[in-house]
Amino acid sequence: MTPAAAFALALALLLWPPRTGHHRLSQLRPPPPRPRRTHPTRVLLLIPPIAAALLAGLGGLLAATALTWTLYRQRTRTNAIRRSRHADIARADALNLLVTQLRTGTHPALAAEAVAKEVDPAVAPTVTALATAIRLGSHADDTGNRLLRAWHTAHNHGIPLADLLDAERRDLAERTRFATQVEARLAGARATATILAALPVLPILLGEAMNAHPLHVLTTTTAGQFLLPLGALLICLGLEWSAHLTTNTTNPKAQARQQVSPPQPPPRTPPCPPRPQPPSS
């Protein structure tokens, strides 16, 4: 594959038209707004594969594509975890304000409207939906909005709304604390995985210093064109596997599913045989 063909293939994948008719029924209930993706980031992702194709041929193109995509996934996953952590903290703060307002005797609708003006903009639509539901008296079964479910439970069963929201706040605070502690404890393991992933670069540099020319072998020979993407693929698999393990560890729900087993019923003991009665005299 020539460099021009590789560049044309990468450009075609970048400009591939989206599916316009996908999920048309979702317009009846639009999803929450997503952050806009910047096209310059996608363009920058094409630079390492194109440069590797010009310098190392097809093997370099495949190796650079795998490494670039894996590193991009790692960065996307890290940003998603940070956004989720920030959203949990913002929800906990909003619940704290809402519970404080309710315990002072404020009407739930007025309390929700006041809190919606003070909390993070990412959490404000959820609190506004609660205020609207209380004003209109609607109790839609919205499984995605935990505040609406709390209001639905409080209205139907007579439970104080402040107690339900306070329990939700404590749950969020406990999950955030747990995830923060686990993230701190896994920092060393993640650093070790990164060092092990970058370790194959050291023998190549040592080989070049000893005039063994490993780069020449990897970029020009047939065996090198096969071994270069194979080594990159193994590095990517190691990074993905370590990320999978650490992601499952930092997820409290997954940790609970792995560690907590359903209670087993106690074994049934056979009934004791009746004792023989002594003969009556």
Contacts 24+ apart (CB under 8 A), 256-264: none
Give the Å distances, CA to CA, from 257 to 125, 144, 246: 31, 21, 15
CB atoms within 10 A of CB 120: 13
Q: Which pLDDT band holds residue 230 (cuts at 50, 70, 90)? A: very high
Residue 131 burial class via C-beta count within 10 angstroms: exposed 0-12, middle 13-18, buried 19 and up: buried
**Hey, what are 107's tokens?**
């009407």
Predicted TM-score (pTM) of this structure = 0.63
Please write the tens of the pLDDT for every residue from 28-55: 444 444 555 545 567 788 888 888 888 8
Closest CA relative to residue 187, chosen from 246, 239, 125, 142: 246
pLDDT in tens, 129-163: 888 888 877 655 555 677 888 888 887 888 888 88
pLDDT at residue 233 above 90? yes
Give domain limits for the chain: 46-255
Here the tokens at position 274 are 């009746």
